[in-house]
Each structure stands twice: as structure tokens, then as C-alpha cells.
Amino acid sequence: MKVDLIRFFFRILLKSKRKKKTDINIDNIQNILVVSNTAIGDTLFSTPAIRLIKDSYPSKKIIALMNPKNISLFAHNPSIDEYLEYNGKWSAFWSIRRKLIKKKIDIAFVFHSNEPQITPLLVLSKIGIILKSPNSMNEFRHLHFNAPIEANRSQHFINTRLELLNYINIFEKSYKMELFLPREEDIDIFDQNYINVGFQIKGSTKSRNWKNEYWIDLAYKILRKYRDSRIYLLGSIKDSRECRLIKEQVPDERVADLSGNYDIVGAANIIKELSVLVTVDTGPLHIAAALKVPTVAFSVAGKSKQSNPVDESVRHVFIEKPETCIPCLDKKCKNAFCMDQIKVNDVMNELTKILLSK
């Protein structure tokens, strides 16, 4: 109820405000805010647009508003001049507002963030030009510089961000996600004489997950077919229990459970050394893509047209099956039986193709 009252307050407070009607004059812009403070994948989708802004206007200062949990992963991006942390919640709203006001930001690109916080935050931070897509269903869309834009399930998330750049005369397209890892964080645990296969067994929601029994079956098939293979179970601390259960069911010395052993930068360095990553539709898929590591991903709730890596130089397979529930509950789903449509042999066949091509 508290959140609803706050939301109602900002609806009333900002109801009479309106966006600026003048054209954007890039010569008058000095400080640019890029907002991407949600999940890892969503932030990686923003990196092509950020680089294009910096390449087009190198003298402009780019300030990135990012999730504190993920910011260490992006802290070495040369296209970003300054970072601010914001978790997207009301508790940090007023403190980050004070910081934003001091930065005297001229324009904000909301590449990915959550309402009802982000638009009121930017308006009250005295940012005159706010660009956000999609926003057709947004309660604060009257405050956005751009006209209402509908969500397009057939368009890649990267393209959604790139289209916003048209407002500052950037029409070039780039789908190269970028990740710059510190050299001092290099982790050398792999023997590159082996086929090093990573398993990212858990996604951010239950709707993206595959059953443990399928991962176990896949592990045995890989180990039997490729005697020189090694399998690494990846995941955060909260995934450790599931990874441990899988390791117990596949007691082969060629299987290693690395879950919970590394921070986010360490995990990215592990992914960098893999021959291939097998994963559900989640952040590590996009980390692998940014680091030029081949992937086999699968999902029902997630759509390949929106999120599968776009890279002609590296093979990225996305096994996609139709939704079994209409409408799909996605993040609210508690029993993703639709993922049972994805068979172990489907994944194994695609994995084999990738390994044969290397």
C-alpha cells in the first residue's frame, strides 16, 4: 500500500508538467545520462548505443546510471566517463536525485529501468529532455520527449535502444555488445587442450529454468561423447544448492562446481575461457556473447528475436519453443512446464555442431 500511495503522489505532482516541444540542439548538450540500471543482460544491450554516442560526440560527457550489483562489470567501459549507482527503489530516490541535480544533465536516455521511479526521478532532477522506449503504456509518457512507442516483440532489444539515438542524429547501427574486464582479475583455471563447457543452470526467474534431470542427462552425454571435455557448473551463491545436487549425480572428476566461488567479474572471466556456454536465457548468455564465446541457449518465455546475440563471427544458437500458456506469465510463473518441450537431444545436437565447427 505504501508504494501505491507514493505512485499516486507522483501522478498528481507531475500531472500538469509537460515535455519540451523544441527540437534537440546537440551543440547545447554537454552532459548525457544513460540509464540502464536493471539486469546484466539489459545493461549489455545498452552498450552498443553508448559506444555510438561517444564515437559520434566524443567531447560530450556520458554519465551512466547503473545497478550497484552490476556496476563493477561495466566500470572499465571507455565510452563512459562517470558512473552513478541507483537500485531503482524508492529508498534511494532522494539521495540519487541530489547527485543528479549536481551533474547538470542536459538529456537522458532511459535504455532500461523501472517505473514508477525513473521518470519522476529524472524530471525532479531538472533534466529537460527524457527519451524512453517503449513507453506507450507508461503513465508518465507525457513527460518523455519522444512520442509514444509501443513494445515490439519482433525487434531486438538492442535495436529498441538504437532507435532513440535518432533524436540526436545518430542513425548508424551496431549490435556489438561490449565488456571490458580488468586484467588483474584474470582467472587461469582452464587447460585449453580440453573442451571446456560451461553450464549456466539457473536464470533470474523460474520461468526460464530447465529441470536438474535434463542437465544431468546432458552432462553424461557430453562426457561420453567427448573424452577430452570438462564441464563447469556456474552460478551465484543462491544457485549453489542446485549445482551441488547436479554434481552429486554426475560424480565424474571432469565436472567441477564453481557456483558461488566468484564475484560477478570473476564469473565473467571464467566465461571468457570457455569453449562454449550452455545456458538458459539469462545474464551470462549475454556476457558470453560480449566476450565472443559461442553459446547454446534455450527458452520459451524469452524470445530469440529480442535477445539472442547478434554476431556473425561467433555462433549463438537459441532453441525456442512455443508458449503453452496464453498469456505467458513469464516472471510470475511458478511452474515452467513449458520448458519440458526443450529436449536434451535438441541441446546436444546444437552443441555438437558448434564443437565440430571450432
pLDDT digits (tens, 9 = 90+) for 320-338: 998 888 888 888 888 888 9
- Measure the CA–CA gap between 354 and 357, rounded to whole angstroms: 5
Which residue type sits at 35? Answer: V
Residues 211, 177: contact at Cβ < 8 Å?
A: no
pLDDT digits (tens, 9 = 90+) for 111-159: 999 999 999 999 999 999 999 999 999 999 999 999 999 999 899 999 9
Q: Beta-strand (E) ranges in the chain?
A: 31-36, 61-66, 82-85, 107-112, 129-132, 195-200, 229-234, 255-257, 276-280, 295-299, 316-320
First vs last C-alpha separation in the chain:
55
Residues 6+ apart with CB under 8 A from 270: 187, 189, 198, 232, 234, 258, 262
- Measure the CA–CA gap between 236 and 220, rounded to whole angstroms: 23
- Measure the CA–CA gap between 87 and 98, rounded to whole angstroms: 15
- How confident is the model at residue 357, as a pLDDT? 80
Q: What is the largest CA-CA distance in the chain?
A: 68
Share of the chain above pLDDT 70, in %: 97
Q: Which of 256-264's residues contact partners 24+ apart within 8 Å by CB, and which partners?
A: 256/230, 256/231, 256/232, 257/233, 258/232, 258/233, 258/234, 259/233, 259/234, 259/235, 260/235, 260/236, 262/187, 263/72, 264/40, 264/69, 264/70, 264/72, 264/73
3-state class of 321 per DSSP?
coil
Residues 6+ apart with CB under 8 A from 247: 233, 255, 257
Torsions phi, psi for 33 (to 5 deg): -100, 130
- Give the residue among 135, 155, 154 at the shortest CA–CA distance from 146: 135
- Measure the CA–CA gap between 34 and 65, rounded to whole angstroms: 6
- How confident is the model at residue 1, as a pLDDT? 45
Q: Is the model's pLDDT at 4 over the cut of 80? A: no
Query: What is the pLDDT of the chain when averaged over all its residues?
Result: 93
Q: Is the model's pLDDT at 18 over the cut of 80? A: no
Which CATH homologous superfamily contains domain 12-168? Glycogen Phosphorylase B; (3.40.50.2000)
- How confident is the model at residue 184, as a pLDDT? 61
Residues 45, 310: contact at Cβ < 8 Å?
A: no
Tell the burial category of 64 from Cβ atoms under 10 Å away from its Cβ (0-12, 13-18, 19+).
buried
Q: Global pTM?
A: 0.93
Q: Is the model's pLDDT at 358 over the cut of 70? A: no
Q: Is the model's pLDDT at 25 over the cut of 90? A: yes
3-state class of 137 per DSSP?
coil
Confidence of residue 275 (pLDDT cuts 50, 70, 90): very high
Distance of CA 88 to the CA centre of its chain: 15
- How confident is the model at residue 21, as a pLDDT? 63
pLDDT digits (tens, 9 = 90+) for 178-223: 999 987 656 677 788 899 999 999 988 888 899 999 999 999 999 9
- Measure the CA–CA gap between 266 and 155, rounded to whole angstroms: 32
User: Residue 306's CB: how many other CB atoms inside 10 A?
Assistant: 18
- Measure the CA–CA gap between 319 and 354, rounded to whole angstroms: 14
- Within the chain, all domains assigned CATH 3.40.50.2000 are found at 12-168, 193-357
- Give the residue among 100, 102, 46 at the shortest CA–CA distance from 70: 46
Residues 210, 202: contact at Cβ < 8 Å?
A: no
Q: Is the model's pLDDT at 20 over the cut of 70? A: no
Question: What is the average per-residue pLDDT within 245-273?
Answer: 95
Written as nine digits, the cell of 346 is 535438441
Question: What is the average per-residue pLDDT within 260-268?
Answer: 92
Structural fold of domain 193-357: Rossmann fold (3.40.50)
Angle between the N-to-C axes of helices 240-249 and 212-225, in degrees from 0 to 180, rounded to the nearest 10 = 50
- Measure the CA–CA gap between 83 and 71, rounded to whole angstroms: 8
- How confident is the model at residue 80, as a pLDDT? 98
Residues 261, 236: contact at Cβ < 8 Å?
A: no
Residues 101, 122: contact at Cβ < 8 Å?
A: no
Q: What count of Cα atoms within 13 Å lies in the side-chain half-sphere of residue 290?
A: 27
